């Protein structure tokens, strides 16, 4: 058997192994891990109820990642250093490949990390790891280099959503650097919900057509996304309480008419309904409270910066379903527990 053929079974075995470690140590997942995994299991169960195919390998990979971060909380510093090496390898390898790759006939880049629109979630996570690494080691050169590489990647690939997300993160960081203000995860989430209402439901962008269309030469549909949003809202109300469940892109295309909702908020409701949304809000509240009770204002702001990027991305894309994104709250909460365990309240 080749490594590729063994890869999926190895991912499933890693999930089993980390669960066994929890049992041996007589440990339970922390609050954030329990909610993250509970959300994933819930939408998977709903998918089965609706007779949809569940990606078991992706589910196992997600659970293994969240539980591994939880299990190795006491080695948090070493964990961040390892993740820094991993993301440096991913970002620099992808950038090298990208610079030596030409667009296909549809004008799309495919490189080490896949389709260019998929770069955003990796770059956001890489920037977060770089900021986290800087916080715990104060080694700025590696952190700054990685963040610059993320910017170059998205600029070169021309990923508009990703570029906008990083610019917003840069602005929030600059405001804090100039001592002009701080931010929290909850504050950013409230702003995000307001933006969702104004853009996705009220379509306030139509009021600025003279700028968006006449001056900028862009369309008001966000490249056809508004039609997808309207259809998504209709399908959400078909199963408003529990949603349609987690599913792969092909199955979601059959149900929704597109590979996903092209909006994070709608994707949460589409996959798990109101129950899923409530769990997500509880996740934000617990995380925000843990950060306020553990970190100083500077650390809270720097850890919250990435959420501004995630929220901006979520206006036109959906990235909540990926383990690589949801490991961010898992890492922050692990950091809170590490500090409390080693340095007290």
> Are residues 253 and 328 in contact, defined by beta-carbon separation less than 8 angstroms?
no
Mean pLDDT, the chain, rounded, equals 89
Q: Cα–Cα distances in Å, from 94 out to 27, 85, 332?
A: 38, 14, 26
Residues 6+ apart with CB under 8 A from 216: none
**Token couple for 153:** 């990647």
- Scan for tokens 């939408």, then name that residue: 43
Contact (Cβ atoms closer than 8 angstroms) between residue 54 and residue 246: yes
Predicted local distance difference test score (pLDDT) of residue 218: 64
So what's the pLDDT on residue 319? 87
Instruction: Give the pLDDT confidence score for residue 336 in this predicted structure.
Output: 95
Query: Residue-wise pLDDT tens for the chain (345 aa)?
Result: 555 667 778 878 888 899 999 999 999 999 999 999 999 999 999 999 988 888 888 898 899 999 999 999 999 999 999 999 999 999 999 999 999 888 777 677 788 888 888 899 999 999 999 999 999 987 789 999 999 999 999 999 988 889 999 999 999 999 998 989 899 999 999 999 999 999 999 888 777 776 666 665 667 777 778 888 998 999 999 999 999 988 777 777 777 777 678 899 999 999 999 999 999 999 999 999 999 999 999 999 999 999 999 999 999 888 888 889 999 999 999 999 999 888 865
As a whole number of angstroms, the distance between CA 330 and CA 32 comes to 6
pLDDT tens column, 296-337: 999 999 999 999 999 999 998 888 888 899 999 999 999 999
pTM of the model: 0.92
Contact present, 327 and 310 (Cβ < 8 Å): no
DSSP code of residue 111: E
For residue 15, what pLDDT is reported? 87
- How does pLDDT run across 74-124, given as a tens digit for each residue? 999 999 999 999 999 999 999 999 998 887 776 777 888 888 888 999 999
């Amino acid at each position: 058997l080749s490594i590729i053929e063994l890869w999926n079974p190895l991912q499933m075995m890693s999930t089993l192994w980390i669960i066994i470690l929890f049992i041996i140590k007589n440990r339970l997942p922390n609050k954030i891990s329990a909610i993250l995994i509970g959300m994933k299991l819930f939408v998977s169960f709903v998918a089965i109820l609706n007779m949809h195919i569940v990606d078991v390998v992706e589910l196992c990979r997600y659970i293994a990642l969240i539980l591994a971060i939880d299990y190795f909380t006491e080695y948090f510093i070493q964990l961040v250093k390892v993740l820094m090496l991993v993301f440096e390898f991913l970002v620099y390898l992808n950038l090298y490949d990208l610079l030596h790759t030409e667009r296909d006939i549809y004008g799309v880049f495919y490189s080490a990390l896949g389709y260019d629109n998929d770069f955003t979630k990796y770059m956001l996570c890489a920037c977060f790891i770089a900021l986290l690494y800087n916080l715990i080691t104060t080694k700025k050169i590696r952190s700054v280099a990685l963040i610059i590489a993320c910017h170059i990647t998205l600029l070169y690939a021309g990923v508009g959503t990703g570029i906008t997300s990083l610019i917003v993160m840069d602005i929030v960081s600059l405001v804090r650097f100039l001592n002009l203000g701080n931010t929290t995860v909850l504050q950013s989430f409230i702003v995000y919900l307001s933006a969702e209402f104004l853009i996705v439901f009220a379509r306030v962008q139509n009021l600025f057509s003279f700028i968006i269309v006449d001056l900028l030469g862009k369309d008001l549909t966000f490249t056809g996304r508004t039609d997808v949003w309207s259809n998504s809202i209709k399908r959400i109300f078909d199963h408003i309480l529990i949603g349609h469940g987690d599913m792969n892109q092909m199955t979601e295309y059959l149900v929704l008419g597109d590979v996903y909702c092209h909006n994070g908020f709608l994707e949460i409701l589409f996959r798990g309904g109101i129950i899923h949304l409530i769990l997500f809000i509880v996740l934000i509240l617990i995380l925000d409270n843990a950060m306020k009770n553990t970190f100083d204002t500077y650390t809270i702001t720097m850890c919250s910066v990435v959420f501004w990027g995630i929220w901006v991305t979520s206006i036109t894309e959906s990235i909540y379903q990926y383990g690589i994104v949801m490991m961010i709250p898992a890492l922050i909460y692990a950091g809170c527990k590490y500090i409390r365990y080693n340095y007290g309240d």
